[in-house]
Every structure is written in structure tokens, then in C-alpha cells.
Chain A
């Protein structure tokens, strides 16, 4: 029962079995993620920040294969840098999401990653876009990763339109916390990014500071 595993951890793909969430509020968005990176049953990194910068006020949340997701995010970061200089202003969130979608769709047979793109731009305010499997859809909020299955009911019940920034942050933290406590592939700390007109604010909430629920 306690024999050593003959399978080396390097033979399993490194996945960010994950919980990620992005929610719009009045004037911006809040993105949240857990921090566990697993390769099979081993936790390879317990403090990874899965919220990746695409531009000053546009972030994306990574899930699925860690390498695939990171690479897509880096490519789109580069493309947005060039694009924003060409047009002479901050890019639209829709542009960032379209760039991610174009890569995800073109290489959908080879890639296994889902990025949720969220940010703020002057035309549309806070926006959340889902790019799963190469589709592009704007939603008031989105969840993703393996841990999301456990919290669909929670987010559907608890989401309210027009939340304030603080309510939104609390909603995101609660969701991540619940998912982390039920999903074996999610855990560690919770990372939060709040984006509004003024900019992006990153925050890390340690394990012992997360809210506790019924059985904790």
C-alpha cells in the first residue's frame, strides 16, 4: 500500500488542475485563481500565480496544460504590445480575447488549455471573455479549471448584477475557497487581481486567511 511509485513524476504532463474565476463589477473586473500545479499526483508548484498579465489593464486566468497556457499568454502579451503601439492607445479587452481565441482555435487539436480573459477598457468598462476550445463569448462572470465543476451551483446562486468592488472580491474569494476545499487538483493560496480605470491591483491571500465553510 505504501510502496514507492515506479512512475516518475516527469512522465505525467504538468497540468494546472485549477480553479479560475473572473467576474465583472460596476467599473471593472476581479480575477481569481488557486495556486496548485500538479504532475500526476505530485504537487510540482504550490504557489504558482495563474493570473497572467496580457496588458496594463487586461489579465488572463490560466488552466489546463501549464506549458500551453503560459505560452499562449506570452504570445498574446507580445501581440498586444505591438498592437497597442500601432493604434496608439490601450487595446480593447475584446482584442486581447480575440487574439487568444485565434490561437486556441487554430491549434485546438494540439493545445489543451483554457484561458479566461478579463480586463477594463474605456469603451466597454469591465469585461470578461471565455475562450474555451476556441469559442469567444462575453459573460458577466466565468469559472474554469477542474475545480469549477464543484462551484457552478454556488456561483449561479450567489452572483448578482452590479456588485460593488468589495462584494465582488469577496464573492471571488469565497468561490475559490470552496473549490479548493473540494477539488484535489486545486489548493495552496488564492491570487486575486482587481482591474478598474485606475489600473490593476494584485493580491495574494494565504491559506490560513481564506474564508472557511461548513466542514472546516
Chain B
């Protein structure tokens, strides 16, 4: 009998050898092929969570999160997955929510201490590097486990413009024009790549973000969901906030209408 098959984080397939079991018990151990399995398992935790996307445009950043509704008793607007880190910074998360909430506190403290020491808003690149360094520290020891969440940070500043950074459980941070995390991240990335975000304004982008979340949402596996939308940009004067009710309704309507159109055009082809 062949040994069981295993998928790696980038969907390569290999046969599970019993030796893997020796190398995946703690984050302080490398495998013979140079991997830290605990970190990869942490990334798996992110892939099990519902999707979050962040896109940077000409004059701001928009976040969209697909919040799966697990109970009929769910109160609308609770269990937020988009946090305010500082007045000008927003953070959208995917993965283990408890880990994400604790990291949002870390990010808030970093931003607050920076302001206290240096008298101005923390630059987003610096904030994401600081939080990434913190996340990375938890991938070095056997006494703790890595954080099981990825998050996207976005901000808008008059002089530096809009910025978007993503941090993953391994503790690296990259800048992006658009990125997606969570279960449908591949599908979302495909949709994001179709956009010409550098030429769009926040108002146009909000509708596209809503549309992408609706597209990648799996009607069969996950039933109801709530769309959480937030933005920061010139339109909000540099303040990160949840998108106002009327803009959100307009965006959701656009998203639903676009999906219906696609359904109709599919039927015609048949």
C-alpha cells in the first residue's frame, strides 16, 4: 500500500513519509528539506478561514471581508474582522480570530508608541515591519506556537498616498496593490488581477470589492454571509472607517446585479 498523499502549502503533492512526523512537532525544528512545518500548518489555518481582500487604488485603500454567518441568532455587525489600528490604518484579518485580535492590539500599541515618541503617524511600512517582526518571533521557539492568522494593513497619507501591506504567519510582510487571504484567495486574486486599480477611485473600487467577494463566495458549502467593507483615502480625509450604509448598499446591489448578469449570460450560451 502506498503511503498516504500530502498536499504542501503551494499544492504540490508528495508521499507522506513517516520521517515528517519527527520534524513537525515544534517550530524550533527544521525538516531535512529545509521547511518549518509548524509555520506551514499555521498558514493552513488561514486557508480554512473565509476570504478577506484589500485593494489599493489611486486615492485610497478598500477592504472587503466575507463574514460567514454560522447562526440564525447572529447579530448584524458583530464579530468584526476589520480593525482600526490607528486613525489612519485599517487591518483586515483571516485565520484564527483570537490570534488576530491579539495581534491587532500589538499593532495598536506599536502605532501608539510611535506617535508618543516621534510626534506623528506611523508610516505603514514601518508598522507592518514591526508587527511582522513580532509574528516572526513566535516561529522561533518550541514553547509557543505561531500565530494562525494573516492580515492586510492599509493606510492613506497626504504625502505618501495609499499603502497596502500583508503579513502572514511566517512573519514576512510585502507591499501590494491588491491581495487576498483565506479560503478563496486564488479565485479572488484572479479577479483582482483583472482590475485596473491604479486608475480607479475609492468609490469605484468599493463596488468592485463587493463584487469580488460575492463572486468568490461559495453558495454551496457556505450558506449565508455578511459583507464587511471599509475604506481609507482621500474620500475619508485619511481616516479609516467602515463604509457608510448608503455606499455599502449601492456596492452590494452592484455586486448582486453583476452576478445575475453573469448567470443570465451563462444560460444564453447553453
Which residues of A are interface residues toward B (Cβ below 8 A)? 83, 86-88, 91-92, 94-95, 97-99, 101-102, 122-123, 136
- B120 neighbours in A (Cβ, 8 Å): 92, 94-95, 98
Known: A122-B159, A123-B159. A102 touches B123 (CB 8 A): no
The verdict on B7 contacting chain A, using a C-beta distance below 8 Å, is no
Contact A98 to B159, CB < 8 A, known contacts A87-B123, A87-B126, A88-B125 = no
User: Could you tell me if A98 and B123 are in contact, using CB atoms closer than 8 angstroms?
Assistant: no
Q: From A102, which residue of chain B is reached at the shortest CB distance? A: B117
State whether B117 touches A99 (Cβ < 8 A): yes
Q: Which of B107-163 contact A (CB under 8 A)?
A: 116-120, 123, 125-126, 159
Instruction: Report the Cα distance A9→B31, complex, angstroms.
Output: 71
11 contacts between A and B (CB under 8 A): A86-B126, A88-B126, A91-B118, A92-B119, A95-B120, A97-B119, A98-B118, A98-B119, A99-B118, A101-B119, A102-B117
Q: How far is the CA of A98 from the CA of B122 in the complex (A)?
A: 14
Distance (whole angstroms) from the CB of B263 to the closest CB of chain A = 48
Question: Which residues on B sit within 8 Å (CB–CB) of A102?
Answer: 116-117
* Chain A residues closer than 8 Å to B117, beta-carbon distance: 98-99, 102
Measured CA separation A215–B223 after assembly (Å): 91
Shortest CB-to-CB span from B27 to chain A, Å, is 26
State how many residues of chain B have any CB contact under 8 Å with chain A.
9
Taking beta carbons and an 8 Å cutoff, which residues of B are in contact with A?
116-120, 123, 125-126, 159
Chain A residue numbers with a CB within 8 Å of B119 are 92, 94-95, 97-98, 101, 136
Q: Which residues of B contact A123 (CB under 8 A)?
A: 159
- CB contacts (< 8 Å) of A97 on chain B: these are 119
Residues of B within 8 A of A92 (CB): 118-120
- Which of chain B's residues have a CB closer than 8 A to the CB of A88? 125-126
- The contact of A83 among B116, B118, B125, B159, by CB within 8 Å, is B118
User: Using Cβ atoms and an 8 Å threshold, which residues of chain B touch A86?
Assistant: 126
Of all chain A residues, the one with the shortest Cβ separation from B158 is A123
**Chain A nearest CB, measured from B153 CB (Å):** 15
Residue of B nearest to A97 (CB): B119
B176 shortest CB reach to chain A, Å: 18
How distant is the Cα of A87 from the Cα of B119 in the complex, in angstroms?
Answer: 14
Q: A94-B119, A99-B118 are in contact. List 11 more A-B contacts (CB 8 A).
A: A83-B118, A88-B125, A88-B126, A91-B118, A92-B120, A94-B120, A95-B118, A98-B118, A99-B117, A102-B116, A123-B159
CA distance A136 to B159 in the complex (A): 23
Q: What's the Cα separation between A83 and B119 when bound, in Å?
A: 13
* Chain B residues near A95 (CB-CB < 8 A): 118-120
Chain A residues with CB below 8 A from B126, complex form: 86-88
Among B116, B118, B123, find the residue whose CB has the most chain A CB atoms closer than 10 A: B118
Shortest B48–chain A CB gap in Å is 35
The chain A residue with its CB closest to the CB of B130 is: A86
Q: Which 10 A-B pairs have the closest CB atoms?
A: A98-B119, A95-B118, A94-B119, A123-B159, A87-B126, A94-B120, A98-B118, A87-B123, A95-B119, A92-B120
* List of A residues within 8 angstroms of B125 by Cβ: 87-88
Per the bound structure, the CA–CA distance linking A83 and B116 in Å amounts to: 14
